[in-house]
């Protein structure tokens, strides 16, 4: 993708995002008219001056155009139509444990490709990923040899999500582990009940392609008190019985979201969509996801 085209797409994206407030206000006014017509009541005073124009727009809408859209719809417009291609890499000068963790992430995500970070700067890494038609870049980071950070950057325009990692157990440290499968996994997303939770679930689930019904592999992201537990399992049925044996494949770890940026990781000027502020309203416990 050329720099000029990238700049144009970014400007279009920001322009559409800027129109969201007006589009939502129009959507809510049209919803008032629909309810009034359905109930046989008088129109609310706040829409009487625009009634004719709004009713004309309602008549022209179909099931798809009647929905209010957001910038998030444009970011993942191709989800489900094409399989994602994910680039997995590490921070610079990774330890052997971080390299092994990156290899295991590459095996977890279908169609993923692991590359050595080398001397790539962040901007060069993202440009190379764009040019090679990757849909996402995943970067794992460490402190003293222990994986403690995960970055998910969606291409070409974002968003970028930052997670902390904890309690990371690599695949070969799990006793009686199952055999790694290359089948596309089923996704289990539990506990993402808020708007931010749905946004986080989208960022994570669109790393994975649509599985076939007969797949016997499952990836679980389970949210509990804003900590997301990652688990990876396969199952098998013995003979013709209904008994199913579930085995953990690994790795396993906990994640916590602390930032979402409306842009790619190399765009320092990109706005923050959400940032974790753990000491805000500390007297009252708050649920984010």
Cβ atoms of residues 163 and 171 within 8 Å: no
Alpha carbons 80 and 201: distance in angstroms, whole number: 15
- The single residue listed with the structure tokens 């206000």 is 25
Per-residue model confidence (pLDDT) at position 19: 57
Nearest to 169 by CA among 254, 93, 237, 243: 254
Helices (H), 178-280: 195-205
User: What average pLDDT values come out for the chain (289 residues) when binned by 10 residues?
Assistant: 68 64 70 76 73 69 58 66 93 95 96 92 92 95 95 92 96 91 94 92 94 94 95 86 87 96 89 82 59
The two tokens of residue 43 are 């129109």
The two tokens of residue 130 are 């764009």
Q: What's the CA angle centered on 267, arms 264 and 268, to 5 degrees? A: 130
Q: What is the pTM of this model?
A: 0.79
Alpha-carbon distance values, 79 to 10, 12, 69, 106 (Å): 19, 20, 15, 20
Per-residue model confidence (pLDDT) at position 10: 67
Per-residue model confidence (pLDDT) at position 38: 79
Alpha carbons 253 and 166: distance in angstroms, whole number: 6
Superfamily of domain covering 86-285: Brix domain (3.40.50.10480)
For the chain, the domains span 3-69, 86-285
> First-to-last CA distance in the chain?
35
């Amino acid at each position: 993708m050329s720099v000029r085209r990238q700049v144009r797409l970014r400007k279009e994206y920001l322009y559409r995002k800027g129109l969201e407030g007006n589009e939502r206000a129009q959507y809510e006014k049209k919803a008032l008219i629909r309810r009034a017509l359905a109930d046989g009541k008088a129109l609310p005073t706040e829409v009487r001056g625009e009634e004719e124009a709004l009713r004309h727009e309602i008549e022209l809408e179909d099931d798809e155009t009647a929905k209010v859209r957001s910038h998030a719809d444009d970011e993942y417009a191709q989800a489900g139509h094409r399989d994602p291609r994910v680039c997995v890499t590490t921070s610079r000068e990774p330890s052997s444990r971080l390299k092994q963790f990156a290899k295991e992430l590459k095996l977890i995500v279908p169609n993923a490709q692991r590359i050595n970070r080398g001397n790539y700067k962040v901007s060069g890494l993202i440009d190379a990923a764009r040019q090679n038609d990757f849909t996402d870049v995943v970067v794992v980071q460490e402190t003293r040899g222990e994986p403690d950070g995960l970055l998910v950057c969606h291409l070409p325009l974002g968003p970028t999500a930052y997670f902390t990692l904890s309690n990371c157990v690599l695949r070969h440290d799990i006793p009686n582990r199952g055999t790694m499968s290359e089948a596309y996994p089923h996704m289990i997303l539990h506990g993402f009940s808020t708007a931010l939770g749905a946004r986080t679930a989208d960022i994570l689930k669109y790393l994975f392609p649509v599985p076939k019904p007969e797949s016997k592999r499952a990836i679980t992201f389970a949210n509990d008190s804003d900590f997301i537990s990652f688990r990876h399992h396969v199952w098998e049925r013995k003979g013709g019985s209904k008994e199913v044996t579930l085995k953990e494949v690994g790795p396993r770890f906990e994640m916590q979201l602390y930032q979402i940026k409306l842009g790619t990781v190399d765009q320092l000027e990109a706005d923050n969509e959400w940032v974790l502020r753990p000491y805000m309203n500390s007297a009252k416990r708050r649920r984010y996801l």
